[in-house]
Structure formats: structure tokens, C-alpha cells
Amino acid sequence: MNKEEIQSIIDELYLLSKKAYEDGEVPVSAILVTSNNRYTGYNQVEKNNNPFQHAEFIVINNYINDTKERYIKESSLFVSLEPCLFCMGAILKAGIKDLYYVLDDEKKGALSHYHIFVDDVLRVHRVEDNRFKELLQNFFIDKR
């Protein structure tokens, strides 16, 4: 995937995060790009009152339920925030090969906090984009 393609997906990811924010959800969004389709989503934890309704789990699960395929071939997952342990488990289980994420999660991130080793199965790409941090910070300031 080239730089322009990545930036275009990140822009779309930002719009989804903003939508989450407007819906009163923690503004985290995900886009799953497969060889012939695209699944987009954002957190639905508040709406469904369920802690497992994280953006990346939603898009992966939607793919699997739609296609009836348990493994996602040739796919890239874009997430605005580093995946938690639960979502990283879902990412590995689904066989995703490329993970792009913007913000580190020092408190709950599977990599930053739990330091799990995934280099043998997953390529992890960090993308710089200051808009997402600002959005997340504003969300928690609003909540106070």
C-alpha cells in the first residue's frame, strides 16, 4: 500500500472517529481493507452496553459473519488506537497480516502495556496523525 492510499484511509478513519465522538462513544474507529471489500466501524460500547463492542472487533466479526470465512486473507486493518488484548487476540485469530494504528495505548495496549510478541505473524505500522490525539483528549475533557 502506498503513502497516498494509506493517508486516504487514515482520513476516512478520522471521519469515523469523529462520528463515534458525536455518538458519545470513545472515539476509536477501524477500517478493514480486504482484497475485494472494505469494512468500517467505530466503538459501540455505550450504544450496546457491551465492553466487547470495540471498533476492530466489530469490523473483523462483521467480515467473518458476512463471508463465513474464519481467516481473512490479504487484509490490512487500520485502527485509530492501539488494540487492547481482546482486540489483538481477535486480529491474530483472524489471521490479519498488516496492522496500522495511530495512537499508542500505554495503559491497555497489547503491545505498549502487555508487551506481547507478534512479529512472527503480524506486521505492525505506526502512523503519525495528530488529529486523533486531540479528538480523544477532547472527548475525555467533555466527559468530566
Residues binding a second copy (CB under 8 A) = 49-52, 57, 61, 64-65, 68, 70-71, 84-90, 92-94, 110, 114-117
Nearer to a second copy, 10 or 91 (CB): 91
Give Cβ neighbours of residue 120 (< 8 Å, ≥ 6 apart).
none
Q: From the CB of 61, what's the least distance to a second copy, in Å?
A: 6
Q: Quick one: 31 exposed, middle or buried, by C-beta within 10 A (0-12, 13-18, 19+)? A: buried
CB nearer a second copy, residue 54 or residue 103 = 54
> What is the closest distance, in whole angstroms, from the C-beta atom of residue 116 to a second copy in the complex?
5
Give 6 or 118: the residue with its C-beta nearer to a second copy: 118
Separation between Cα atoms, residue 70 and residue 68, nearest integer Å: 6
Instruction: Round to whole Å and give the CA distance between 82 and 101.
Output: 6
Q: Smallest distance, Å, CB 38 to a second copy?
A: 20
Alpha helices in 23-109 (DSSP H): 45-48, 55-67, 85-93
Which is closer to a second copy, CB of 14 or CB of 83? Answer: 83
